[in-house]
Amino acid sequence: MADPARARKIADRIKEVIAANLEQVIKDPDLGFVTITDVRVTGDLQHASVFYTVFGDEDQRETTARVLATHQGRLRSLVGRQLGIRLTPTLELIPDALPETASQLNEALRAAKERDAQLAAGRAGARPAGDADPYKKPRDADHAGTDEG
């Protein structure tokens, strides 16, 4: 088991290497606009999960995923040359769900904002159900000394 700090450093280095050299290694016109979002390396440094996003529609994402899978070995060779460690980790290229998650969050925030606006509109002419000031107040000072009863 490798040191977790070393695994993080290797993951960061793999991310930099792939992001900087992706278009030079894969000279395919079908490759979309790819962003490497994260890399996670296992504790034994044998496997690296590379997360990426693709700018474009669903067809562009599928085409890019196919192109990346085809050139996965070339990317691993590049990583091995650049890292200079004894064993090059296997690469698993995983499409990141970040855009879909962000879209869902934006939709939830929009719905919450609409609901807040509806509540504010309903609150505009509302009055309290009981007294205007429902809190008990201490007795007046002039009644404090008298014994009524």
Answer yes or no: is 131 within a domain: no
pLDDT at 141: 58
* Total residues found in the chain within this entry: 149
Rounded CA gap, 94 and 90, in Å? 13
Confidence (pLDDT) at 1: 62
**pLDDT tens for residues 34-70?**
888 889 998 888 999 989 888 877 888 888 888 888 8
Instruction: Read off the pLDDT band of 74 (50, 70, 90).
Output: confident
Total domains in the chain come to 1
How many Å apart are CA 95 and CA 8, to the nearest integer?
A: 20
60 lies in a domain? yes
pLDDT range class, residue 142, cuts 50, 70, 90:
low
Asked if the structure places residue 126 within a domain, the reply is no
DSSP 85: -
Q: Say which CATH number the domain at 94 has.
A: 3.30.300.20
Q: What is the pLDDT of residues 102-132, one digit of tens each?
A: 778 888 888 999 999 888 888 887 776 777 6
Tokens of 1: 């088991």
Residue 39 lies in a domain: yes
> How much is the mean pLDDT over the chain?
81
Domain that holds residue 18: 4-101
DSSP state of 3: -
* pLDDT of the residue at 145: 55
pLDDT confidence tier of residue 149, bands split at 50, 70 and 90: very low
Handedness of CA 134, 139, 140, 146 (dihedral sign): positive
